[in-house]
A and B are shown apart, each in its own frame.
Chain A
């Protein structure tokens, strides 16, 4: 099952590669449309757009997913419902493809909603409370994005078609286009976990590790970035992109700091993904969609590899993810450590690994652009933080002493996992340079003073040094965090975002719904219709029954009243 799926996905990836080269060389774009319905001069169209960008992205997605499927043959080998798992992954890849190829707001829903739903199924794959909560958080955060896309469909109605690529330049200053662009940005921010919505990404690490490698590093979370790359023409130099720039810069900064407080191996990697997503979003909002796309692709490779290494380590550590128990792995499991190191260093942008080409170019373009000091600070400080948590992670897992148990036998001979990792290892070595030669046929001209040019190296060195120092910290030094207890709480809990988006928010809605149920459905609505009406009728009938008991006193009394009334009538006449 795994192998067949791997084979087909891999072949699909190669076909996409060939088509990418062909389309790219000849500068071809193919657009296919199927008109679902057309009326009132509006047409709902299922459209497919094949250009070099979508083909290349599809190639990367199918390559990573094929490798991940092959990897899960070993990782999920003791899973009882392996077929369910593989089917879910394939469904996920399918929805991602639908998202990539459709430039239509209605037909993109097929991929966009599908991603949210299938990733929900994948996150709650394990039957425990943590994954239950994480899945709900993931699905509902993504649903916000779905809702925004639904609303932007309604705003798009004025144009008569939902093929957004035709209207991006043409209708830029239209009011409904402004509404649309704000909603599309919000939708993209939910999928790509930018700052108000970023709590779901670390929570989604409750999913099985192959899922994290595929879904929460390289495909699902980049869907938002990809959508904004497509929408880039519309929002260039607008107010929304400025807001997005600040928010994504803060996301990068926040994730970088939080990763330094984290001890969970997968969460550190997830936070680094969040940080890189912030980087992509911010460079995108500055108007360099190609650079964002380039970083998206290289990042997909090394981040998937990083997660897969983490999976191997978790397997051999008896399902323990805490990095304080790890250490000295470079001696015991050299091949896995090799992969981990290369992907980690590629994340930091060490020269000539794949991350270097994209990240260095992004940072230099930032230095070239007209920006204020705050954005510049966010970019460079976050770059330093990346080095910081990477080196910390390396020292914790690779160099320090092994802390788990005294008698242990770590193995590095799971060749199914290793083979699949080596494919990605190769790709994360070469993909940066290859892509930079391929997709930038016109090189960017960068002209910087020496200190700004060397700024990346300065911050990286400082960050690396800090990471080295913090990884050797002893227990009494940890207690110094107590001096800044509130601050470190704030920073380590992702600026309280998980609390704000779960317990902080839902309690109001749940209380409200409880009150509604008690006051409206079991209260006033019942009082004024069902039970209240019943009570009125019942009381009257009881009252009349009381009359009909022929009580002598009431009988006489009513007789006298009648007499008096007749007398009064007579008198009036």
Chain B
């Protein structure tokens, strides 16, 4: 595990060389394939060394984060062309990758916390440094303080646990059971903010709207999944109390998911719509994790990976439009099928994956989550039906508003999609729909 970390760290000097933008990206792909070859024992923690190790769950998320980070570089070619601090941008992404890699691969609870919060800083720098409007300061503050506010109780909680267990190791946590109410709340809340659950999701649309494309991709792709990862790791020691209290989170997140998917219909900013849609998807993930059954856990895992690829791809598409129209408003991004028919195809594919059409990972994830939630209580069926229906509704709303109809007449000039963009979209879409052929690697854990 350490070797991959060193590989990432030694990519740092590469950022400061001139004209090495694509080299960094290629090295990330290379890292991705090296990591893919890692001999992972699917069932338990393997490759243990010092504080690092991985099981199938962290393995998939590390792969996803390397993949998304390399695609982030690919999507922000404009920074390279304009020479908009592209070296620092690469440095930032590599720092982010180090943080994410460590978050997913450490087995030490405190180090997990450390890197979990540490990944905020590069993200904040991305938003503050490469965002578009002055409002990005406020968005950055929202991002920082929403997550920090809930993370200090987590910090306390981790040390309380250390006080009792006298160690930090995650893989030993299953032998413990903390039936403590306040500890439970303090440990859970930080992850719920990160996910985000309804009521505490406000930072997400704001951060997305102000972030550059790479920031949005990493936010939707990985940052939301940190919360799910943390929940799944932490809930092991709270099994008993979670049985009593899980209904709160499930009810809030399911109803919230329905509300958020309704709110998507009122958005006129493409990015904000996609951000709200990811809140709606994450709400089902929270529900699935909180049911604490096997279907729920693996469904959340698969939906998290699927949603990471899918929403990141959609943010890419939004940015492709933004680079041409210099607007993300749905009133201006219209009739694109006339201008970019091939891009419209990718819009359709990614949006249909977003509404969990087969054979995407989202479908398998959503089926498993529906199974888990329905076996938890059949009353969740109502909300699940509404969420599932409206997810199709807003996806089609976005598709038809951007692609259909007359195009914006104030448009002066326009250029078609370039092969970099098509490659980037394909690299989002292909794993999303191919992994289902060998889904048992990600479904069988125990």
Contact = CB atoms under 8 A, between A and B. Distances in A.
Contact of B357 (A114, A132, A135, A525): A114
Interface string B167-201: 00000000000000000000000000000000110
A132 B405 contact: yes
A516 B199 CA distance: 12
Given A84-B341, A147-B385, A147-B388, A36 B396 contact: no
B371 A114 contact: no
Interface stretch (B16-24, B93-101, B261-269): B261-269
A513 B384 CA distance: 17
B80 to A, nearest CB: 33
A453 interface: no
Contacts of B439: 36-37
B443 interface: yes
B389 A143 contact: yes
B232 interface: no
Given A127-B337, A127-B405, A147-B389, A517 B200 contact: no
B209 to A, nearest CB: 13
A466 interface: no
B372 to A, nearest CB: 9
Name, among A106, A146, A155, A513, the residue most crowded by chain B CB atoms within 10 Å (CB to CB): A513
Interface string A272-285: 00000000000000
A140 B392 contact: yes
B396 A120 contact: yes
Given A127-B335, A150-B367, A521-B263, A157 B375 contact: yes
Given A124-B404, A516-B262, A526 B363 contact: no
Contact of A139 (B199, B396, B404, B440): B396
Interface in A133-172: 135-136, 139-140, 143-144, 146-148, 150-151, 153-155, 157
B266 A530 contact: no
Interface residues of A, number: 48
Contacts of A204: none
B28 to A, nearest CB: 30
A514 B392 contact: no
A364 interface: no
A39 interface: yes
Contacts of B355: 143
B443 A37 contact: yes
Nearest to B396: A139
A127 B334 CA distance: 11
A117 B385 CA distance: 18
Interface in A497-547: 509-510, 512-514, 516-517, 520-521, 525-526, 529-530
B440 A37 contact: yes
Interface of chain A: mostly helix, strand, loop or mixed: helix
Nearest to A128: B405
Given A110-B358, A513-B265, A521 B202 contact: yes
B392 A146 contact: yes
B370 A150 contact: yes
A37 B99 CA distance: 33
Contact of A520 (B259, B335, B338, B436): B259
B210 interface: no
Interface string B313-351: 000000000000000000000010110010000001000
Contacts of B385: 147-148, 151
A421 B265 CA distance: 44
B352 interface: yes
A117 B259 contact: no
A529 B400 contact: no
Name, among B371, B384, B389, B404, the residue most crowded by chain A CB atoms within 10 Å (CB to CB): B404
A372 interface: no
A514 B266 contact: yes
A151 B374 contact: yes
A318 B39 CA distance: 67
B247 interface: no
A512 B203 CA distance: 22
A28 B404 CA distance: 47
B266 A154 contact: no
A109 B404 contact: no
Contact of B400 (A114, A132, A143): A132
Contacts of A36: 436, 439-440
A44 B363 CA distance: 13
Nearest to A524: B199
A132 B348 CA distance: 15
A-B interface, 7 closest residue pairs, ranked by CB to CB distance from nearest: A513-B262, A154-B374, A143-B392, A110-B358, A37-B440, A154-B370, A113-B357
Given A150-B367, A154-B375, A513-B262, 14 more contacts: A36-B439, A37-B443, A38-B440, A39-B294, A109-B358, A127-B405, A150-B366, A153-B370, A157-B371, A510-B265, A513-B264, A514-B266, A529-B146, A529-B200
29 contacts: A39-B443, A81-B341, A110-B358, A113-B358, A113-B363, A117-B348, A121-B348, A127-B405, A132-B400, A135-B404, A140-B396, A143-B355, A143-B389, A143-B392, A147-B385, A150-B367, A151-B370, A153-B367, A154-B373, A154-B375, A509-B262, A512-B262, A513-B262, A513-B266, A514-B266, A516-B259, A520-B259, A521-B205, A521-B263
